[in-house]
Amino acid sequence: MGKEGTIMATAKKKKHSFPSAYTVIIIVLILVQALTFFIPSGKYSTLEYNSGLNKFVITEASGKTTKESATQKTLDKYKIKIKVSKFKDGTIYRPAAIPNTYHEIKKPKRGVFGTINQFLTSQVQGIVDSVDIIVFILILGGVIGVVNATGAMNSGMMRLSEKLKGKQKWLIIIVTSLIALGGTTFGLAEETIAFYPILIPIFLLAGYDTLTAVAAVYLGTAIGSMSSTINPFSTVIASNAAGINFTDGMPMRILMWIASVGISIAYTIHYAEKVRKDPSKSLVADQASTDKERFLGDMDLTTKSDFTMRQKLSLIVFALGFVVMIYGVQQLGWYFTEIAVVFLAVTYVLIFTAGLKESKFVDSFVSGAGDLLGVALTVGLARSVGIVMEKSFVSDTIMHYFSNQISGMNNVLFICVLFFVYIVLGFFIQSSSGLAVLSMPIMAPLADVVGIDRSMIINAYNWGQGLIGLIAPTGLILVSLAMVKVGFDKWLKFVTKLLIMIVILILIFLTVGVLIK
Protein backbone atom coordinates (compact mmCIF):
# COMPACT_ATOMS: atom_id res chain seq x y z
CA MET A 1 0.00 0.00 0.00
CA GLY A 2 1.36 3.43 -0.96
CA LYS A 3 1.62 6.45 1.25
CA GLU A 4 -1.68 7.86 -0.03
CA GLY A 5 -3.45 4.56 0.69
CA THR A 6 -2.03 4.46 4.19
CA ILE A 7 -3.28 7.97 4.91
CA MET A 8 -6.74 7.11 3.56
CA ALA A 9 -6.88 3.94 5.66
CA THR A 10 -5.84 5.88 8.76
CA ALA A 11 -8.45 8.55 8.06
CA LYS A 12 -11.11 5.89 7.56
CA LYS A 13 -10.17 4.26 10.87
CA LYS A 14 -10.37 7.59 12.66
CA LYS A 15 -13.69 8.38 11.02
CA HIS A 16 -15.30 5.20 12.37
CA SER A 17 -13.76 5.27 15.85
CA PHE A 18 -16.25 4.70 18.67
CA PRO A 19 -17.15 7.72 20.86
CA SER A 20 -15.46 8.17 24.23
CA ALA A 21 -17.22 7.53 27.55
CA TYR A 22 -18.07 11.23 27.89
CA THR A 23 -19.67 11.35 24.46
CA VAL A 24 -21.67 8.16 25.07
CA ILE A 25 -23.12 9.65 28.27
CA ILE A 26 -23.96 12.93 26.53
CA ILE A 27 -25.70 11.03 23.70
CA VAL A 28 -27.76 9.06 26.25
CA LEU A 29 -28.53 12.31 28.10
CA ILE A 30 -29.78 13.94 24.90
CA LEU A 31 -31.93 10.91 23.99
CA VAL A 32 -33.46 10.75 27.48
CA GLN A 33 -34.10 14.47 27.40
CA ALA A 34 -35.85 14.06 24.04
CA LEU A 35 -37.99 11.24 25.46
CA THR A 36 -39.21 13.48 28.28
CA PHE A 37 -41.02 15.60 25.68
CA PHE A 38 -43.10 12.59 24.58
CA ILE A 39 -43.58 10.67 27.85
CA PRO A 40 -46.31 12.29 29.98
CA SER A 41 -45.26 13.60 33.37
CA GLY A 42 -46.92 11.91 36.31
CA LYS A 43 -46.51 10.94 39.93
CA TYR A 44 -47.70 8.47 42.52
CA SER A 45 -48.66 9.78 45.92
CA THR A 46 -45.97 8.78 48.40
CA LEU A 47 -45.80 7.92 52.09
CA GLU A 48 -42.72 8.78 54.13
CA TYR A 49 -41.96 8.40 57.83
CA ASN A 50 -40.92 11.54 59.73
CA SER A 51 -39.01 10.38 62.80
CA GLY A 52 -39.02 13.84 64.39
CA LEU A 53 -42.83 14.03 64.35
CA ASN A 54 -43.37 10.24 64.59
CA LYS A 55 -45.86 10.69 61.76
CA PHE A 56 -46.36 9.48 58.22
CA VAL A 57 -46.20 12.31 55.68
CA ILE A 58 -48.44 11.72 52.64
CA THR A 59 -47.41 13.69 49.57
CA GLU A 60 -49.97 13.77 46.76
CA ALA A 61 -49.14 14.15 43.06
CA SER A 62 -50.19 17.81 43.30
CA GLY A 63 -47.59 18.38 46.01
CA LYS A 64 -50.13 18.69 48.84
CA THR A 65 -48.97 17.03 52.06
CA THR A 66 -50.90 15.63 55.01
CA LYS A 67 -49.75 13.96 58.23
CA GLU A 68 -51.19 10.76 59.67
CA SER A 69 -50.41 8.53 62.62
CA ALA A 70 -47.41 6.24 62.15
CA THR A 71 -49.40 3.06 62.72
CA GLN A 72 -50.04 -0.21 60.89
CA LYS A 73 -53.67 0.93 60.47
CA THR A 74 -52.51 3.88 58.35
CA LEU A 75 -50.42 1.57 56.14
CA ASP A 76 -53.38 -0.79 55.74
CA LYS A 77 -55.56 2.17 54.79
CA TYR A 78 -53.22 3.00 51.90
CA LYS A 79 -52.79 -0.71 51.00
CA ILE A 80 -49.07 -0.65 51.72
CA LYS A 81 -48.16 -4.17 52.89
CA ILE A 82 -45.10 -3.17 54.92
CA LYS A 83 -44.66 -3.53 58.68
CA VAL A 84 -44.69 -0.16 60.41
CA SER A 85 -41.52 -1.17 62.29
CA LYS A 86 -39.60 -1.16 58.98
CA PHE A 87 -40.24 2.57 58.65
CA LYS A 88 -39.43 3.36 62.26
CA ASP A 89 -36.14 1.42 62.37
CA GLY A 90 -34.91 3.09 59.17
CA THR A 91 -35.06 0.00 56.94
CA ILE A 92 -37.46 1.85 54.62
CA TYR A 93 -35.81 5.24 54.43
CA ARG A 94 -37.21 6.48 51.10
CA PRO A 95 -40.76 7.61 50.26
CA ALA A 96 -42.89 4.57 49.33
CA ALA A 97 -45.27 4.80 46.38
CA ILE A 98 -48.95 4.37 47.28
CA PRO A 99 -50.77 1.89 44.99
CA ASN A 100 -53.51 3.15 42.65
CA THR A 101 -52.65 6.82 43.18
CA TYR A 102 -50.93 7.63 39.88
CA HIS A 103 -51.94 10.94 38.34
CA GLU A 104 -50.64 12.77 35.33
CA ILE A 105 -49.33 16.21 36.14
CA LYS A 106 -48.68 19.24 34.02
CA LYS A 107 -45.38 18.87 32.20
CA PRO A 108 -42.84 21.46 33.35
CA LYS A 109 -42.51 24.24 30.77
CA ARG A 110 -39.04 24.46 29.34
CA GLY A 111 -38.90 25.81 25.82
CA VAL A 112 -35.63 25.98 23.91
CA PHE A 113 -33.68 27.92 26.51
CA GLY A 114 -35.18 25.91 29.36
CA THR A 115 -34.12 22.67 27.68
CA ILE A 116 -30.59 23.94 27.11
CA ASN A 117 -30.46 25.10 30.73
CA GLN A 118 -31.62 21.69 31.97
CA PHE A 119 -29.09 19.96 29.73
CA LEU A 120 -26.21 21.99 31.18
CA THR A 121 -27.47 22.26 34.75
CA SER A 122 -28.05 18.51 35.07
CA GLN A 123 -24.39 17.86 34.27
CA VAL A 124 -23.14 20.35 36.86
CA GLN A 125 -25.66 19.06 39.39
CA GLY A 126 -24.57 15.49 38.64
CA ILE A 127 -20.97 16.38 39.47
CA VAL A 128 -22.08 18.21 42.65
CA ASP A 129 -24.23 15.24 43.75
CA SER A 130 -21.31 12.87 43.14
CA VAL A 131 -18.70 14.97 44.93
CA ASP A 132 -18.06 12.34 47.63
CA ILE A 133 -17.25 9.68 45.01
CA ILE A 134 -15.18 12.17 43.01
CA VAL A 135 -13.13 13.17 46.06
CA PHE A 136 -12.53 9.50 46.85
CA ILE A 137 -11.34 8.80 43.30
CA LEU A 138 -8.96 11.79 43.30
CA ILE A 139 -7.47 10.91 46.70
CA LEU A 140 -7.12 7.29 45.60
CA GLY A 141 -5.30 8.44 42.46
CA GLY A 142 -2.96 10.54 44.58
CA VAL A 143 -2.16 7.62 46.88
CA ILE A 144 -1.45 5.37 43.90
CA GLY A 145 0.81 8.05 42.44
CA VAL A 146 2.86 8.15 45.65
CA VAL A 147 3.11 4.34 45.92
CA ASN A 148 4.20 4.14 42.29
CA ALA A 149 6.84 6.81 42.88
CA THR A 150 8.44 4.66 45.59
CA GLY A 151 8.86 1.78 43.13
CA ALA A 152 6.93 -0.42 45.58
CA MET A 153 4.23 -1.29 43.08
CA ASN A 154 6.68 -2.46 40.45
CA SER A 155 8.74 -4.55 42.88
CA GLY A 156 5.62 -6.09 44.41
CA MET A 157 4.17 -6.92 40.98
CA MET A 158 7.39 -8.61 39.94
CA ARG A 159 7.30 -10.89 42.98
CA LEU A 160 3.65 -11.69 42.41
CA SER A 161 4.12 -12.43 38.69
CA GLU A 162 6.73 -15.06 39.57
CA LYS A 163 4.23 -16.86 41.82
CA LEU A 164 1.47 -16.69 39.18
CA LYS A 165 3.30 -18.69 36.54
CA GLY A 166 1.14 -21.65 35.57
CA LYS A 167 -1.68 -20.48 37.88
CA GLN A 168 -3.04 -17.54 35.90
CA LYS A 169 -6.60 -18.86 35.81
CA TRP A 170 -6.80 -18.71 39.59
CA LEU A 171 -6.31 -14.95 39.39
CA ILE A 172 -9.65 -14.65 37.54
CA ILE A 173 -11.41 -17.21 39.74
CA ILE A 174 -10.31 -15.59 43.02
CA VAL A 175 -10.87 -11.95 42.00
CA THR A 176 -14.32 -12.50 40.44
CA SER A 177 -15.53 -14.82 43.22
CA LEU A 178 -14.48 -12.51 46.06
CA ILE A 179 -15.95 -9.39 44.45
CA ALA A 180 -19.16 -11.26 43.56
CA LEU A 181 -19.37 -12.39 47.19
CA GLY A 182 -19.12 -8.76 48.27
CA GLY A 183 -21.78 -7.78 45.71
CA THR A 184 -24.31 -10.39 46.83
CA THR A 185 -23.83 -9.70 50.56
CA PHE A 186 -23.23 -5.99 51.13
CA GLY A 187 -23.56 -4.41 47.69
CA LEU A 188 -19.89 -3.99 46.77
CA ALA A 189 -20.01 -1.83 43.64
CA GLU A 190 -18.46 1.64 43.20
CA GLU A 191 -15.80 0.75 45.77
CA THR A 192 -14.25 -1.66 43.24
CA ILE A 193 -12.96 1.34 41.29
CA ALA A 194 -10.11 1.30 43.79
CA PHE A 195 -9.03 -2.19 42.69
CA TYR A 196 -8.30 -1.46 39.02
CA PRO A 197 -4.95 0.37 39.41
CA ILE A 198 -3.66 -2.54 41.50
CA LEU A 199 -5.07 -5.44 39.50
CA ILE A 200 -4.43 -4.26 35.92
CA PRO A 201 -0.60 -4.60 36.12
CA ILE A 202 -1.05 -8.07 37.67
CA PHE A 203 -3.31 -9.18 34.82
CA LEU A 204 -0.89 -7.80 32.23
CA LEU A 205 2.04 -9.59 33.86
CA ALA A 206 -0.02 -12.79 33.82
CA GLY A 207 -0.26 -12.49 30.03
CA TYR A 208 -3.81 -11.19 29.88
CA ASP A 209 -5.12 -7.86 28.57
CA THR A 210 -6.84 -4.90 30.22
CA LEU A 211 -10.26 -6.12 29.10
CA THR A 212 -9.74 -9.32 31.11
CA ALA A 213 -9.07 -7.20 34.20
CA VAL A 214 -12.29 -5.25 33.64
CA ALA A 215 -14.21 -8.49 33.12
CA ALA A 216 -12.87 -10.12 36.28
CA VAL A 217 -13.67 -7.09 38.45
CA TYR A 218 -16.81 -5.72 36.81
CA LEU A 219 -18.53 -9.05 36.21
CA GLY A 220 -17.91 -9.82 39.88
CA THR A 221 -19.54 -6.50 40.79
CA ALA A 222 -22.47 -6.66 38.36
CA ILE A 223 -23.29 -10.38 38.53
CA GLY A 224 -22.73 -10.49 42.28
CA SER A 225 -25.09 -7.56 42.87
CA MET A 226 -27.58 -8.94 40.33
CA SER A 227 -27.77 -12.30 42.13
CA SER A 228 -28.13 -10.60 45.50
CA THR A 229 -28.88 -12.79 48.51
CA ILE A 230 -28.65 -10.50 51.56
CA ASN A 231 -27.64 -7.20 49.93
CA PRO A 232 -29.37 -4.54 52.10
CA PHE A 233 -29.58 -2.09 49.19
CA SER A 234 -31.58 -4.42 46.93
CA THR A 235 -32.92 -7.75 48.26
CA VAL A 236 -33.50 -6.65 51.85
CA ILE A 237 -35.09 -3.27 51.13
CA ALA A 238 -37.13 -4.67 48.21
CA SER A 239 -38.42 -7.57 50.33
CA ASN A 240 -39.42 -5.21 53.11
CA ALA A 241 -41.14 -2.90 50.62
CA ALA A 242 -42.98 -5.95 49.22
CA GLY A 243 -44.13 -6.96 52.71
CA ILE A 244 -42.18 -10.23 52.96
CA ASN A 245 -39.10 -11.49 54.78
CA PHE A 246 -35.87 -11.18 52.80
CA THR A 247 -35.12 -14.87 53.44
CA ASP A 248 -38.16 -15.90 51.36
CA GLY A 249 -36.88 -17.44 48.13
CA MET A 250 -33.28 -17.54 49.41
CA PRO A 251 -32.41 -21.05 48.06
CA MET A 252 -33.18 -19.97 44.49
CA ARG A 253 -31.09 -16.80 44.87
CA ILE A 254 -28.12 -18.79 46.16
CA LEU A 255 -28.41 -21.17 43.20
CA MET A 256 -28.58 -18.18 40.84
CA TRP A 257 -25.42 -16.71 42.38
CA ILE A 258 -23.54 -19.99 41.95
CA ALA A 259 -24.75 -20.50 38.36
CA SER A 260 -24.34 -16.94 37.08
CA VAL A 261 -20.95 -16.33 38.74
CA GLY A 262 -19.73 -19.72 37.54
CA ILE A 263 -20.77 -18.97 33.95
CA SER A 264 -19.14 -15.52 34.13
CA ILE A 265 -15.84 -16.96 35.41
CA ALA A 266 -15.79 -19.69 32.75
CA TYR A 267 -16.63 -17.11 30.06
CA THR A 268 -13.82 -14.77 31.19
CA ILE A 269 -11.27 -17.59 31.44
CA HIS A 270 -12.17 -18.79 27.93
CA TYR A 271 -11.45 -15.32 26.52
CA ALA A 272 -8.41 -14.66 28.73
CA GLU A 273 -6.65 -17.92 27.87
CA LYS A 274 -7.13 -17.25 24.14
CA VAL A 275 -5.44 -13.89 24.63
CA ARG A 276 -2.61 -15.34 26.72
CA LYS A 277 -1.84 -17.97 24.08
CA ASP A 278 -2.31 -15.61 21.13
CA PRO A 279 -2.27 -11.85 21.97
CA SER A 280 -3.68 -11.06 18.52
CA LYS A 281 -7.03 -12.55 19.70
CA SER A 282 -7.40 -9.69 22.18
CA LEU A 283 -10.26 -7.28 21.51
CA VAL A 284 -7.89 -4.50 22.61
CA ALA A 285 -4.83 -5.78 20.71
CA ASP A 286 -4.51 -2.42 18.97
CA GLN A 287 -3.68 -0.73 22.30
CA ALA A 288 -1.55 -3.50 23.86
CA SER A 289 1.73 -1.61 23.69
CA THR A 290 0.12 1.59 24.99
CA ASP A 291 -1.49 -0.31 27.86
CA LYS A 292 1.82 -1.90 28.87
CA GLU A 293 3.55 1.47 28.80
CA ARG A 294 0.74 3.09 30.82
CA PHE A 295 0.31 0.40 33.49
CA LEU A 296 3.72 -1.27 33.62
CA GLY A 297 5.81 1.80 32.86
CA ASP A 298 9.54 1.13 32.69
CA MET A 299 9.28 -2.12 34.64
CA ASP A 300 12.15 -4.39 33.63
CA LEU A 301 10.75 -7.90 33.40
CA THR A 302 14.12 -9.51 32.72
CA THR A 303 16.00 -8.48 35.85
CA LYS A 304 15.19 -8.92 39.49
CA SER A 305 14.91 -5.63 41.37
CA ASP A 306 15.45 -5.11 45.08
CA PHE A 307 12.33 -5.07 47.22
CA THR A 308 13.35 -2.68 50.00
CA MET A 309 11.86 -2.45 53.47
CA ARG A 310 10.43 1.00 52.70
CA GLN A 311 8.69 -0.39 49.62
CA LYS A 312 7.27 -3.30 51.61
CA LEU A 313 6.01 -0.93 54.32
CA SER A 314 4.42 1.35 51.73
CA LEU A 315 2.57 -1.58 50.12
CA ILE A 316 1.44 -2.86 53.53
CA VAL A 317 0.07 0.58 54.43
CA PHE A 318 -1.64 0.79 51.02
CA ALA A 319 -3.16 -2.71 51.42
CA LEU A 320 -4.37 -1.93 54.94
CA GLY A 321 -6.33 0.97 53.49
CA PHE A 322 -8.37 -1.54 51.46
CA VAL A 323 -8.86 -3.82 54.46
CA VAL A 324 -10.23 -0.92 56.52
CA MET A 325 -12.39 0.19 53.56
CA ILE A 326 -14.01 -3.23 53.15
CA TYR A 327 -14.58 -3.58 56.90
CA GLY A 328 -16.11 -0.11 57.13
CA VAL A 329 -18.45 -0.64 54.16
CA GLN A 330 -19.56 -4.07 55.30
CA GLN A 331 -19.77 -3.64 59.08
CA LEU A 332 -20.14 0.09 59.72
CA GLY A 333 -22.22 1.21 56.75
CA TRP A 334 -19.58 3.61 55.44
CA TYR A 335 -20.00 5.47 52.19
CA PHE A 336 -17.53 7.42 50.09
CA THR A 337 -16.88 10.28 52.51
CA GLU A 338 -15.61 7.83 55.14
CA ILE A 339 -13.67 5.81 52.54
CA ALA A 340 -12.00 8.99 51.25
CA VAL A 341 -10.96 9.81 54.82
CA VAL A 342 -9.33 6.36 55.12
CA PHE A 343 -7.19 6.87 52.02
CA LEU A 344 -6.36 10.43 53.04
CA ALA A 345 -5.05 8.95 56.29
CA VAL A 346 -3.05 6.45 54.21
CA THR A 347 -1.50 9.42 52.40
CA TYR A 348 -0.25 10.92 55.66
CA VAL A 349 1.20 7.59 56.82
CA LEU A 350 3.00 7.26 53.48
CA ILE A 351 4.81 10.53 54.21
CA PHE A 352 6.85 8.59 56.78
CA THR A 353 7.14 5.22 55.00
CA ALA A 354 7.69 6.28 51.37
CA GLY A 355 11.01 8.05 51.93
CA LEU A 356 10.30 10.63 49.20
CA LYS A 357 11.37 14.26 49.28
CA GLU A 358 8.56 16.73 49.99
CA SER A 359 8.45 18.07 46.43
CA LYS A 360 8.53 14.57 44.90
CA PHE A 361 5.79 13.38 47.27
CA VAL A 362 3.46 16.28 46.44
CA ASP A 363 4.15 16.09 42.70
CA SER A 364 3.45 12.34 42.71
CA PHE A 365 0.19 12.81 44.61
CA VAL A 366 -1.05 15.60 42.32
CA SER A 367 0.01 13.71 39.19
CA GLY A 368 -1.74 10.53 40.39
CA ALA A 369 -4.92 12.43 41.16
CA GLY A 370 -4.76 14.06 37.73
CA ASP A 371 -4.59 10.64 36.07
CA LEU A 372 -8.02 9.79 37.49
CA LEU A 373 -9.65 13.19 36.94
CA GLY A 374 -11.35 11.96 33.76
CA VAL A 375 -12.78 8.98 35.63
CA ALA A 376 -14.09 11.27 38.37
CA LEU A 377 -15.87 13.49 35.84
CA THR A 378 -17.44 10.43 34.18
CA VAL A 379 -19.12 9.56 37.50
CA GLY A 380 -20.71 13.01 37.71
CA LEU A 381 -21.85 13.06 34.09
CA ALA A 382 -23.51 9.64 34.42
CA ARG A 383 -25.58 10.99 37.32
CA SER A 384 -27.01 13.75 35.09
CA VAL A 385 -29.29 11.32 33.22
CA GLY A 386 -31.13 10.41 36.43
CA ILE A 387 -31.49 14.09 37.32
CA VAL A 388 -33.25 14.83 34.01
CA MET A 389 -35.64 11.91 34.69
CA GLU A 390 -36.39 13.23 38.19
CA LYS A 391 -36.94 16.83 37.07
CA SER A 392 -39.23 15.72 34.23
CA PHE A 393 -41.37 13.39 36.41
CA VAL A 394 -41.45 10.54 33.88
CA SER A 395 -40.15 7.62 36.00
CA ASP A 396 -43.53 7.04 37.67
CA THR A 397 -45.25 7.23 34.28
CA ILE A 398 -43.04 4.48 32.85
CA MET A 399 -43.70 2.25 35.87
CA HIS A 400 -47.46 2.92 35.79
CA TYR A 401 -47.61 2.00 32.10
CA PHE A 402 -45.77 -1.28 32.56
CA SER A 403 -47.74 -2.30 35.66
CA ASN A 404 -50.98 -1.90 33.69
CA GLN A 405 -49.64 -3.88 30.71
CA ILE A 406 -48.58 -6.96 32.69
CA SER A 407 -51.37 -7.20 35.26
CA GLY A 408 -53.62 -9.50 33.18
CA MET A 409 -51.03 -12.05 32.01
CA ASN A 410 -50.74 -15.69 33.07
CA ASN A 411 -48.17 -16.32 35.82
CA VAL A 412 -45.23 -17.63 33.71
CA LEU A 413 -45.58 -14.92 31.06
CA PHE A 414 -46.11 -12.32 33.78
CA ILE A 415 -42.87 -13.07 35.65
CA CYS A 416 -40.79 -13.29 32.45
CA VAL A 417 -42.15 -10.00 31.11
CA LEU A 418 -41.70 -8.38 34.54
CA PHE A 419 -38.01 -9.31 34.35
CA PHE A 420 -37.70 -7.33 31.09
CA VAL A 421 -39.74 -4.49 32.61
CA TYR A 422 -37.16 -4.23 35.40
CA ILE A 423 -34.40 -4.17 32.80
CA VAL A 424 -36.02 -1.05 31.33
CA LEU A 425 -36.73 0.50 34.73
CA GLY A 426 -33.18 -0.30 35.87
CA PHE A 427 -31.77 1.55 32.87
CA PHE A 428 -33.58 4.74 33.82
CA ILE A 429 -33.51 4.37 37.63
CA GLN A 430 -29.97 3.31 38.55
CA SER A 431 -30.54 3.39 42.32
CA SER A 432 -31.44 -0.16 43.40
CA SER A 433 -32.94 0.99 46.70
CA GLY A 434 -34.82 3.84 45.02
CA LEU A 435 -36.31 1.50 42.42
CA ALA A 436 -37.24 -1.02 45.11
CA VAL A 437 -39.21 1.42 47.28
CA LEU A 438 -40.80 3.09 44.26
CA SER A 439 -41.90 -0.09 42.49
CA MET A 440 -42.52 -2.81 45.11
CA PRO A 441 -45.72 -1.36 46.63
CA ILE A 442 -47.07 -1.27 43.04
CA MET A 443 -45.66 -4.51 41.59
CA ALA A 444 -45.80 -6.84 44.61
CA PRO A 445 -49.64 -6.89 44.85
CA LEU A 446 -49.75 -8.00 41.20
CA ALA A 447 -48.15 -11.29 42.32
CA ASP A 448 -51.27 -11.99 44.40
CA VAL A 449 -53.49 -11.32 41.38
CA VAL A 450 -51.68 -13.82 39.11
CA GLY A 451 -51.14 -16.34 41.91
CA ILE A 452 -47.37 -16.41 42.42
CA ASP A 453 -45.14 -15.96 45.46
CA ARG A 454 -44.04 -12.37 46.11
CA SER A 455 -40.44 -13.55 46.42
CA MET A 456 -40.52 -14.14 42.66
CA ILE A 457 -41.20 -10.42 42.18
CA ILE A 458 -38.03 -9.73 44.18
CA ASN A 459 -36.11 -12.10 41.91
CA ALA A 460 -37.42 -10.45 38.74
CA TYR A 461 -36.46 -7.05 40.20
CA ASN A 462 -32.99 -8.18 41.32
CA TRP A 463 -32.09 -9.97 38.13
CA GLY A 464 -33.58 -7.37 35.77
CA GLN A 465 -32.20 -4.16 37.28
CA GLY A 466 -28.92 -5.94 38.04
CA LEU A 467 -28.41 -7.40 34.57
CA ILE A 468 -28.83 -4.07 32.77
CA GLY A 469 -25.86 -2.85 34.81
CA LEU A 470 -23.63 -4.89 32.48
CA ILE A 471 -24.24 -2.44 29.64
CA ALA A 472 -26.12 0.62 30.94
CA PRO A 473 -24.07 3.77 30.15
CA THR A 474 -25.76 5.48 33.09
CA GLY A 475 -24.27 2.94 35.51
CA LEU A 476 -20.78 1.97 36.63
CA ILE A 477 -19.53 0.32 33.44
CA LEU A 478 -18.32 3.50 31.69
CA VAL A 479 -16.49 4.56 34.85
CA SER A 480 -14.78 1.16 35.00
CA LEU A 481 -13.82 1.29 31.33
CA ALA A 482 -12.48 4.83 31.78
CA MET A 483 -10.13 3.50 34.46
CA VAL A 484 -8.43 1.24 31.90
CA LYS A 485 -8.99 3.28 28.72
CA VAL A 486 -11.10 0.57 27.06
CA GLY A 487 -13.81 1.65 24.61
CA PHE A 488 -17.48 0.92 25.27
CA ASP A 489 -17.72 -0.78 21.86
CA LYS A 490 -14.99 -3.26 22.87
CA TRP A 491 -16.87 -4.08 26.06
CA LEU A 492 -20.16 -4.60 24.17
CA LYS A 493 -18.40 -6.95 21.76
CA PHE A 494 -16.96 -8.90 24.68
CA VAL A 495 -20.06 -9.13 26.89
CA THR A 496 -22.90 -9.65 24.37
CA LYS A 497 -22.73 -13.47 24.29
CA LEU A 498 -22.50 -13.63 28.07
CA LEU A 499 -25.48 -11.30 28.35
CA ILE A 500 -27.59 -13.63 26.19
CA MET A 501 -26.49 -16.65 28.23
CA ILE A 502 -27.43 -14.97 31.53
CA VAL A 503 -30.82 -13.85 30.15
CA ILE A 504 -31.62 -17.45 29.16
CA LEU A 505 -30.47 -18.68 32.58
CA ILE A 506 -32.69 -16.14 34.36
CA LEU A 507 -35.77 -16.97 32.26
CA ILE A 508 -35.28 -20.66 33.10
CA PHE A 509 -34.97 -19.89 36.82
CA LEU A 510 -38.05 -17.62 36.79
CA THR A 511 -40.16 -20.17 34.90
CA VAL A 512 -39.14 -23.05 37.15
CA GLY A 513 -39.62 -20.87 40.24
CA VAL A 514 -43.22 -20.08 39.29
CA LEU A 515 -44.08 -23.65 38.31
CA ILE A 516 -42.71 -25.31 41.47
CA LYS A 517 -44.49 -22.81 43.74
CB of 384 closer than 8 Å to CB of 29: yes
Burial class (CB in 10 A: 0-12, 13-18, 19+), 399: buried
Task: Please tell me whether residues 302 and 182 are part of one structural domain.
Answer: yes
Specify the pLDDT at position 177: 92
Phi-psi region of 249 (alpha: psi -120 to 50; beta: other; left: phi over 0): left
pTM, two decimal places: 0.81
DSSP track, 275-331: HHH-GGG-TTGGGHHHHHHHHHTT--SSSPPP--HHHHHHHHHHHHHHHHHHHHHHH
Distance CA 486, CA 470 (A): 15
Please write the tens of the pLDDT for every residue from 47-75. Answer: 999 988 899 999 998 889 999 999 999 99
Are 60 and 28 in a shared domain?
Answer: no
Tell me how far apart the alpha carbons of residues 58 and 262 are, in angstroms, rounded to a whole number: 45
Closest CA to 475 of 192, 106, 161: 192
Asked if the structure places residue 110 within a domain, the reply is no
| Same-domain pairing of 477 and 346 | yes
Same domain for 240 and 155, yes or no, is yes
Strands (E), 114-170: none
How far is C-alpha 301 from the geometric centre of its chain's CA atoms? 35
If asked whether residues 82 and 197 sit together in one domain, one would say no
Q: Which domain holds residue 71?
A: 45-105
| CB hemisphere CA count around 507 (13 angstroms) | 11
Whether 14 is in a domain gets the answer no
Give yes or no: residues 31 and 49 share one domain. Answer: no
Does some domain include residue 9? no
How many domains would you assign to the chain? Answer: 2
Residue 24 and residue 76 in one domain: no
Instruction: Please check whether residue 56 lies inside any domain of the structure.
Output: yes
Final residue of a structural domain among 105, 134, 156 = 105
Are 206 and 74 in the same domain?
no
In a domain, 236, yes or no: yes
Picking from 74, 105, 136, the residue at the C-terminal end of a domain is 105
Same domain flag for 79 and 131: no
CA 30 vs CA 57, 247, 385, 479, 481: distances in Å: 35, 41, 9, 19, 21
Q: Is residue 7 part of a domain?
A: no
What does the pLDDT profile of the chain (517 residues) look like in tens digits? 444 444 334 444 444 567 777 888 899 889 988 988 888 999 999 999 998 889 999 999 888 999 999 999 999 898 888 888 888 887 787 888 898 899 998 887 777 888 888 889 999 998 998 898 889 889 988 888 888 787 766 666 666 666 667 678 888 998 899 889 988 987 778 778 878 887 888 888 888 999 999 999 999 999 999 999 988 888 988 998 888 888 888 999 999 999 999 999 999 999 999 999 999 999 999 998 888 888 876 555 555 556 678 777 887 888 888 888 878 877 787 878 898 899 899 899 888 887 778 888 889 889 888 888 888 888 888 888 888 888 888 888 988 898 888 887 889 999 999 999 999 998 888 778 888 888 898 888 888 878 888 999 999 999 999 999 999 888 889 888 988 889 999 999 999 999 999 999 999 999 999 998 6
Three-state DSSP class for 339? helix
What is the model's pLDDT at position 152?
A: 64
Is residue 114 one of the residues assigned to a domain?
A: no
Three-state secondary structure call for residue 54: coil
Angle between helix 454-467 and 432-450 (nearest 10): 140
Contacts for 348 with CB less than 8 Å, ≥ 6 apart: none
- Are 134 and 88 contained in the same domain? no
- The amino acid at residue 251 is P
Phi-psi region of 100 (alpha: psi -120 to 50; beta: other; left: phi over 0): left
Q: Going by C-beta distance under 8 Å and a sequence separation of 6 or more, which residues neighbour residue 199?
A: 175, 213, 216, 217
Residue 6 lies in a domain: no
Cross-sheet strand order for the sheet of 46-50: 65-69, 55-59, 46-50, 96-97
pLDDT at residue 130 in the model = 87
Same domain, 236 and 141: yes
CA dist 274 and 322 (Å) reads: 32
Judgement on whether residues 424 and 506 belong to the same structural domain of the protein: yes
